[in-house]
């Protein structure tokens, strides 16, 4: 039996354990290309009809499977499911567009570096130490996937995650489990965002999929809202204990305990010198963020026009030829291959090998970083 694994875009309203169930995976595979009735699915899978109906009802609740409009009583998967053959075909297209994206990124590096070095943060974190975060995490990820494609002049439903009945956007994609998923990708980069207070700032980790079990643990509560003022404060300037105590909701004992954990972590999240503390994680100020997002959007627009749009059409056409209802997998193929090439050329900061330090790819910002629909509203106000 083909085993599936799933990637998420955004926040899904159900637990991932739903699609860990073997019968659920078989139902999705059975309905990925053509609609089928419950009796047809049950007979194909050799599963009791009542069990199939129960699983379908749960999948339908989250719009992962829907009734087919042209075939009464039949169901069809409402999410992409990619088996090995489809992944191999996707990789060929991704490799082609990676060549285009790497040229765009390579030519943009001098301008992006100049923008970064005009920022206050560059005095504490040299370009060579954070270029993968800026080029990969901010420009090639957030600006390309979470900002520019939502701008009014580019917004197309086929290029953004599905809009669901409750007004939210999220994507859920299944892949046949195989390692590596795409043979041309050395790293499958991903970005985890902590946006609990999106107007005051956020934290993120731009890393790659495979190492989380091998990643060292972050210091306790480093990402907690209670200590966020400390993180942002230390990200802006060196501070004494008394200065931190005046701005922190923690009492003195809790603050000492937190600082002890941060300074003794491996590697340390905070360093101390002459009684003053400083953060070893790059945090962009509001001004720095504005400069870099502006520069990043310009690069991302070029990637959108020359990579995202034509790649989508080519993947859509190829998917139809294979009898699929969705375009072939995008899987961040072009981006990840392009970043791999730039790292291997020594143009971007190194990628940590397992065991991966807890702080690899961790960064943050102060102020608002408009993403998704908010990026659309931001553009409409200008």
What are the backbone angles phi and psi of residue 198, rounded to the nearest 5°? -65, -20
Please state, rounded to an integer, the average pLDDT across all residues of the chain.
93
Answer yes or no: are the C-beta atoms of 283 and 233 closer than 8 Å: no
DSSP code per residue over 143-179: IHHHTGGGSTTT--GGGSPPBPTTS-B-EEEEEE--S
Q: Indicate the pLDDT class of residue 162, thresholds 50, 70 and 90.
A: very high
**Across residues 360-370, what is the average pLDDT?**
94
Q: Where are the alpha helices (DSSP H) in the chain?
A: 22-30, 38-45, 49-61, 84-117, 127-131, 144-146, 228-236, 241-247, 252-264, 286-303, 309-321, 333-344, 373-381
Domain residue spans of the chain: 4-79, 89-171+188-213+284-381
Domain 4-79 in CATH 3.40.50.150? The answer is no
Q: Mind listing the pLDDT tens digit for each residue in 286-317?
A: 999 999 999 999 999 999 999 999 999 999 99
Q: Mind listing the pLDDT tens digit for each residue in 98-145?
A: 999 999 999 999 999 999 999 999 999 999 999 999 999 999 999 999
Q: What is the pTM of this model?
A: 0.91
| Distances, alpha carbon 250 to alpha carbons 36, 195, 198, 241, 271, in Å | 58, 21, 22, 12, 19
What DSSP designation does 12 have? -
Contacts of residue 353, Cβ cutoff 8 Å, sequence gap at least 6: none
CA distance 36 to 30: 8
Q: Indicate the pLDDT class of residue 211, thresholds 50, 70 and 90.
A: low
**Across residues 241-259, what is the average pLDDT?**
90
Q: What is the pLDDT of residue 247?
A: 86
Answer yes or no: are the C-beta atoms of 87 and 176 closer than 8 Å: yes
């Amino acid at each position: 039996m083909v085993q599936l694994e799933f990637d998420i875009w955004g926040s899904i309203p159900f637990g991932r354990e739903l699609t860990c169930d073997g019968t659920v995976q078989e139902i999705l595979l059975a309905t990925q290309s053509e609609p089928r009735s419950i009796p047809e699915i049950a007979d194909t899978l050799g599963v009791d009809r009542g069990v199939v109906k129960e699983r379908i009802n749960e999948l339908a609740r989250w719009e992962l499977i829907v009734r087919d409009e042209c075939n009464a009583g039949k169901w069809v998967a409402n999410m992409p499911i990619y088996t090995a053959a489809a992944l191999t075909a996707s990789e060929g297209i991704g490799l082609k567009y990676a060549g285009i994206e790497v040229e765009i990124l390579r030519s943009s590096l001098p301008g992006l570096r100049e923008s970064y070095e005009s920022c206050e943060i560059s005095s504490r974190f040299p370009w060579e130490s954070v270029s993968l975060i800026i080029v990969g995490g901010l420009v090639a990820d957030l600006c390309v996937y979470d900002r520019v494609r939502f701008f009014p002049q580019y917004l197309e439903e086929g290029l953004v995650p599905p809009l669901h009945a409750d007004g939210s956007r999220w994507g859920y994609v299944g892949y046949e489990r195989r390692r590596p998923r795409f043979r041309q990708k050395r790293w499958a980069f991903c970005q985890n965002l902590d946006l609990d207070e999106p107007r005051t700032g956020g934290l993120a980790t731009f890393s790659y999929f495979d190492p989380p079990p091998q990643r060292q643990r972050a210091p306790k509560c480093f990402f907690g809202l209670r200590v966020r003022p400390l993180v942002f404060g230390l990200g802006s300037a060196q501070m004494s204990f008394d200065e931190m105590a005046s701005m922190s909701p923690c009492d003195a004992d809790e603050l000492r305990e937190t600082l002890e954990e941060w300074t003794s972590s491996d590697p340390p999240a905070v360093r101390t010198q002459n009684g003053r503390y400083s953060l070893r994680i790059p945090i962009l100020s509001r001004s720095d963020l504005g400069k870099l997002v502006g520069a990043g959007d310009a690069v991302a627009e070029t990637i959108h026009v020359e990579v995202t749009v034509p790649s989508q059409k080519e993947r859509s056409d190829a998917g139809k030829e294979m009898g699929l209802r969705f375009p072939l997998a995008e899987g961040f193929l072009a981006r990840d291959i392009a970043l791999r090439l730039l790292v291997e050329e020594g143009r971007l900061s190194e990628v940590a090998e397992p065991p991966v330090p807890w702080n690899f790819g961790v960064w943050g910002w102060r102020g608002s970083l408009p993403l998704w629909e908010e990026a659309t509203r931001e553009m409409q106000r200008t």
